[in-house]
Structures are given as structure tokens and as C-alpha cells.
Amino acid sequence: MSGKNDEGFRALQERERRILEALLGHHPFDGRDELLDQLGSATARMIQEYDDNYSSIELNVVSPTRANVKYRVPVEAEYLDDDGVPVWVLLHVRNGVMCELEICRADGRPLISPPSPERLEPFSAKYGLGMRVVKKPGSS
């Protein structure tokens, strides 16, 4: 058990599972294989405290193999809602265990289209560093 209150957790919905698979399947990063293993026993519940909840869910993983991730959010994705406003999808990991799938729209307005795996553009901190290198002014 993960040690958290298991009340209200349910099986992942197919869409939620496919989103998590899209995030974890895009490219390799530290801890990815263990997070994929955790998906097999993951359950979810809606995060009621979020006033602007866009289907963000708390995750519970039973008997996880801990992932050696470097960041609290090792992988995330973005897509543009139907009106062009960015929506971010972030996988949170605490103590090597998936704990939250956060979804938020940049302007705080209601989603027009919920996230779907086909629309996501995943990236991770390490992967993003390889995509663009920003130099400080005056550096060579």
C-alpha cells in the first residue's frame, strides 16, 4: 500500500490510462520504466480541493517499485485547446511513486476539449534541455 487514505479511489478510466501511457511512452527518462510498472496497480480519485479542476486526479499505487526520478514532475505535455489557449498535463511523482495527474488551462477558463493522447506533445526536463540551449548574455 502507498500509505495514503484509500477511500474513494477507483480504477483508472480508459482516457486517463491512455494519457499516462502517452506521457510515459514518449521518450526515455530516468525512472520511466518503474513508472510504467506502477501504472498496472494505479487507481485514481478526483481532487476535490481544486476549484478549477480540469479532471486532475490523485493517484494511488499499490506496492510500487520506486522510480528514481530527478524531478517532482519528470514528464509533462501540452496541447492547445480549441480556442488556441495552452493546456498543460503534468505527472507528479513523490518519493518515487506517481501521485497526481494535473491538468490546467493557462487562462483558468473551462476546458473546451479535454486532453486526449493524440493531441499531447510530451516532454521532460532532460528532454527539453536537449531541444534548446539558452546562453546567458556575454557567455560564449
pLDDT along the chain (140 residues), means of 10: 68 96 90 96 87 83 92 94 96 97 93 93 63 42
Q: Among candidates 69, 68, 62, which has minimal Cα distance to 3? A: 62
| Cell numbers given for 21 | 501511457
Q: What is the pTM for the complete model shown?
A: 0.83
Give me the sign of the Cα torsion angle 92, 97, 99, 103: positive
